[in-house]
Every structure is written in structure tokens, then in C-alpha cells.
Structure 1
């Protein structure tokens, strides 16, 4: 019985640990043009950019310290922001939705590939309002809206 219970716990943990597929769009626009479009799309929604993480720069800067050779991204940034109105709405519906805030949109370009922009998907229910917001911002950033 203990073995059966332990196997169930391990299987459940493995399922939770699997990363969800990101929602992504690719574009022939330059990285800088996509960043410019993203910043404007966020501001056009009346939102404030809380933080920009320069993930690509960090990975490139530290690869020598880690004895790594591969350049993962030519460039990669992650934009973090929140919406007071929508955050309040989704957290009033379920206070555990706090785990999803701030919301992030990434822009990345792998060597020899097109620029990619996207975000992590959200669970069904109230958080789909946030997913719709992010999708609109991303589409606006690359001229799909």
C-alpha cells in the first residue's frame, strides 16, 4: 500500500513539474522593433512596466564563468507588469491567483532564427482574462491587431 501511494505521489509531482507550452508568435521584425512595439502596447493598455529582465545578456555574460560554450539567444528580454483592475478581479475570484502576478511577456531571438514573442498560458477560469490581455498586447506589439 505504501509503495502504491508513493508511486502516485511521484507521478503527481512529475505531472506538476512539467512545463506548459508557451504561447508564442514569430515575426520577421527586428528584435529592437518588437521591443519598441511591446513597450508601446503595454503603455497603450495604461499599464506600467515594473521590470525588464535582460535574460539573454545575463546568459551570455555568465557563460564563460560556467564553462559553457553555447550562445542560447542573440537577445532575450522579459517584461514584467501588472494590471491593478484585472489583478483585483481575478484575485477576488480566487486569492491564489496572486501566484501569477506580475505578468510576463518575453521577446527572444535564437541564433539564425526569427524573433519570438510570447507568454506562459494561464489556467481556465478567471485567469483567462489575463491571458486575453497578454495575447492582445503581444499581437499589438507585432502588428497583428
Structure 2
């Protein structure tokens, strides 16, 4: 019975991970200009970029080490930041919303398209974050 319960929990958890949605917007600009526009949109709201994760460079650098020659991105960065006001609002509604902080928006160049995007958040208080990220992403691509 314990084994069956463990399997059901594992399947439920795996299903939740794959059910995640991503919002993306295409940019007419190149990667560098789009990344600059994204950073400017974040900073323009009085927010601080805590960290920029250079995911594209890491994947390019480590591909051979993991036995792959597939180029996923020409370039890809994830900008991580938080909003004291928004974070306080969503965590006062549910303290476990700490799991979503910091917030990340990516800019990626696939070779065919430059896009800006972010993970969608659950219904309820986290929609305040969803709105913030959507506004920033749209501004970064000029929409």
C-alpha cells in the first residue's frame, strides 16, 4: 500500500510539473536590444535586477560535457528580480507564495525568433505577479 501511495504521489507531482504554462512574446529586435529593453523595463519600475542567469552560455559551454551537440539557443538570459510591494501583498495573502520569489523573465534567441517570456502563476493572489511580469514583458517587446 505504501508503494502504491508513493507511485500516486510521484505521478501527481510529475503531472503538475508538466502542466506548467509559459507566456511568451516575440520581439522584432535582436537579442542584445531586447535584453536591454527587458532590463530597462524592470529598472524603470523601480525594481532591482538581483541576478542575470546566462542560461544560453551555460548550455553552449557544457553541451559537449553532457554528450550533446544540439544548439538550443543562440543566446538566452533569465533576469531575476523581486518587488517588495508585490511580494509583500502575495505573501500576506499566503506565506507559502515565498516559493515563487524571486520572479524571472527570460529573453531567448532561438535563431529563428527572439522572445521574452515567463512562467505563468496560479490563480489567486499570484495573479498580481502575473500582471506585473506581463506588463514588463510586453514593454520589453514594444507591445
Q: Does 1:123 align with 2:122?
A: yes
Deviation at 1:8, TM superposition (A): 3.9
Gaps of 5+ in 1: none
CA contact (8 A) 2:28 2:141 kept: no
Deviation at 1:14, TM superposition (A): 2.9
CA contact (8 A) 2:25 2:115 kept: yes
Gaps of 5+ in 2: none
**CA distance 1:127–1:69, change in 2 (3 Å):** same
Deviation at 1:6, TM superposition (A): 5.6
**CA distance 1:64–1:119, change in 2 (3 Å):** same
Aligned to 2:142: 143
**CA distance 1:49–1:10, change in 2 (3 Å):** closer
Q: Which moved more, 1:34-43 or 1:19-28?
A: 19-28
Per-residue deviation, residues 22-63 of structure 1 (Å, max 9, x unmatched): 100112210011011101100111100000000000110111
**CA distance 1:2–1:139, change in 2 (3 Å):** same
Aligned to 2:107: 107
Q: Does 1:57 align with 2:57?
A: yes
CA contact (8 A) 2:76 2:107 kept: yes
Q: Does 1:34 align with 2:8?
A: no
Q: How many residues align?
A: 143
Matches of 2:109 and 2:7, distance apart in 1? 40
Matches of 1:3 and 1:78, distance apart in 2? 38
Q: Does 1:92 align with 2:128?
A: no
Deviation at 1:4, TM superposition (A): 6.4
